[in-house]
Amino acid sequence: MNEIIESIKKSTIEIQKIIAKGDMGKSEEQNSTGDTQLKLDIISDVVIENNFKLLTCVKQIVSEEQENIVNINKDGEYLIAYDPLDGSSLVDVNLSVGSIYGIFKNNFTGNNIIASVYVVFGPRVEMVVCDGETVKLYRMQNEEFNYIKDIKMDQKGTIKSPGSTQQCWYPHHKEMINEMFEDNYNLTYSGGMVPDLHHILLRGGGLFSYPGTSDKSKGKLRQLFEVFPFAHIFETAGGGATDGKQRVLEIETTHIHDTSPCFFGSNDEINRVITKYKNI
Ligand code: FDP
């Protein structure tokens, strides 16, 4: 596992340099979910893939930017799913972006995730590592990753980050978000999953939601690359992650690019979601 974390650190240092150079041209290629890939996504993907390919402990990798699983070493122990640069279009407007990694054993399913990592590229570069027992925050300085603290969530937070648009929200979801406004939650939504969830984690609580909507009944966020790693992190930090009906990590995966509705937060807010979605 240590080898994998070291490889992620190496990729992070390389990606940070690429972002700082400021190459933001659009590429002609599209990824499997139809987004137009930006050059930064592609370059970051290549950096990460090349570094993982050096590790004998890795059996397979799969990237959000690629159609298929890549075989590395048939005798390797670990499977890694990653989103090389989530929200990469936000670099154009100088907002934070991030990389997300889920490390699995046996197969790419929620109940087989054993570790998760994400990296935020913002005013600072920070890395959060979850081994299933603790969630640790590191900060990059001079290409070193210094331990800052363990992240633990409170019972209740003060922030809400509601994904998608009101036009596409189902009535019960709209009702829940309106109730949160009435209960004095602050609205915060950058449009980047990594910084938005990082915000909630570091503030100790709140709710990030990306529900099923009238245009995307299964939500937008990808299970392997986005939803499972963050569910693992939120649960380990003492919060929770649900799709409204069940724990996110119990959702069945039928295809590597499956999406699912998801809610991440502290326990009070997750209970609020479960209550609201119970009879839907
Ligand atoms: P993006 O499309 O910019 O890559 O991964 C998808 C994602 O960003 C998340 O980072 C973000 O939380 C979400 O989409 C934002 O979607 P909406 O604009 O539909 O709310």
Q: Is the dihedral of CA 126, 151, 245, 176 positive or negative?
A: negative
The dihedrals phi and psi of 77, each to the nearest 5 degrees, come to -95, -30
Tokens 């809400």 locate to 160
Query: Residue 89: what pLDDT?
Result: 85
Which of ligand 1's atoms lies nearest the C-alpha of 83? Answer: 5
Q: Which residue among 42, 44, 86 has the greatest number of ligand 1 atoms within 8 angstroms of its CB, and so is best to mutate?
A: 86
User: What whole-number distance in Å separates Cα of residue 13 and Cα of residue 72?
Assistant: 23
Instruction: Determine if ligand 1 sits within 6 Å of the CB of residue 192.
Output: yes
Instruction: Determine if ligand 1 sits within 6 Å of the CB of residue 213.
Output: no
Residue 12 half-sphere exposure toward CB, CA atoms < 13 A:
30
Model-level pTM?
Answer: 0.94
User: From its phi and psi, is residue 148 left (phi > 0), alpha (psi between -120 and 50) or beta?
Assistant: alpha
Q: Which residues of the chain have pLDDT under 70?
A: 23-38
Nearest CA to ligand 1 atom 12: 193
CA distances from 2 to 58, 118, 198, 220, 271 (A): 12, 15, 23, 32, 35
Instruction: Determine if ligand 1 sits within 6 Å of the CB of residue 102.
Output: no
Cβ 223 vs Cβ 110: under 8 Å:
yes
Query: Residue 280: what pLDDT?
Result: 83
Instruction: Determine if ligand 1 sits within 6 Å of the CB of residue 86.
Output: yes
Instruction: Determine if ligand 1 sits within 6 Å of the CB of residue 87.
Output: yes
Instruction: Determine if ligand 1 sits within 6 Å of the CB of residue 219.
Output: no
Query: Residue 90: what pLDDT?
Result: 92
Query: Residue 39: what pLDDT?
Result: 84
- In tens, the pLDDT along 35-80 reads 655 689 899 999 999 999 999 999 999 999 999 999 999 999 999 9
| C-beta atoms surrounding 218 within 10 Å | 13
C-alpha of residue 226 to centroid of ligand 1, in Å: 10
